Structure 1
Amino acid sequence: MTAPHPSIPAALRLTAREVSQVLREVIFERSSVTRACSQTWDEIYAGHFQVDIGGWFISIYNDCDELDYCEECVAPDGRRWAFDSGDRFGTDPIALLSTWELVTLEQILKKL
């Protein structure tokens, strides 16, 4: 396990696993997702794409039209998770998804 993100107080930290579970709720159609930014996935092409999943605000990096990594997540209760380039593989919520889940999530994001 890596050290927690230094800029987030311990009481306000989310884990990558918690964030990946929120994404899975969308993938398995147990929660709905809406776009929380003005541009569509295709319009951004390379940059951060923000979504709202029942009050969870998540920023996902679109790398040339491919789902890349989760930049940040803020839960409805104010807890946060943030990407840290020093984290080892598997600590990004996107990295915790299966190949099928990644493809499905990317398709959902492209439709928003």
Structure 2
Amino acid sequence: MTTQTLTPREAYQILRDIAQGIRLMRRIGEQGWLEIGSGLLTVEVDGWVFTLHNDGERLSHCDRCYDPEGAAYLYDTTHPYGTNPVEFMSQWEVQQVEKMLKAL
């Protein structure tokens, strides 16, 4: 079985909705954003699952994302700039999502 690929833009659309308060996320796992300090945190949003990288309490990148049908976006350090969903986010959007992650 071949996994369908999500584009970074498709994953970004969900992150944008989170920032705007259109969608709510919930933490998967025991540790929260502040407890991790630096590392990965997984959240669920309307069936979408995002694993986000916390770099000193800053959202650095989306490590992976799965939509409800199982299509996946996987971070690859060899990809050129502009291929990570977080890179599409405005500064305001990143700040909003970080604020929400800290509250989880």
TM over 0.5: yes
Equivalent position amino acid for 1:93 in 2 = P
Offset, 1:35: 0.4
Point out where structure 2 has 5 or more consecutive residues left out of the alignment: none
2:19 match: 27
Tell me which residue corresponds to 1:3.
none
What is the CA distance between 1:10 and its match in structure 2? 7.1
Using structure 2 for the length normalisation, give the TM-score: 0.95
- Distance between the aligned counterparts of 1:66 and 1:111, measured in 2? 14
Aligned partner of 1:49 among 41, 50, 72: 41
What do the CA deviations read for 1:32-70 (whole angstroms, capped 9, x no partner)? 110012101011111101000011000000011111100
Unpaired runs of 5+ residues, structure 1, are: 1-8
Two-structure CA RMSD over aligned residues (Å): 1.3
Output the CA distance in 1 between the equivalents of 2:59 and 2:77.
17
Question: Which residue does 1:6 correspond to in 2?
Answer: none
In the TM superposition, what is the alpha-carbon distance from 1:11 to its structure 2 partner? 5.8
Question: Which residue is equivalent to 2:90?
Answer: 98
Contact 2:52–2:62, Cα closer than 8 Å, also in 1: yes
Structure 1 residue ranges (4+ consecutive) displaced by more than 6 angstroms after TM superposition: none
Question: How many pairs are equivalent?
Answer: 104
Q: Partners in 2 of 1:83 and 1:11 — Cα distance? A: 15
Q: State, as a whole percentage, how many aligned pairs show the same letter.
A: 33
Equivalent residue of 1:12, what SS? Answer: coil
Distance in 1 separating the partners of 2:101 and 2:50: 12
Distance 2:17 2:64 in 1: 17
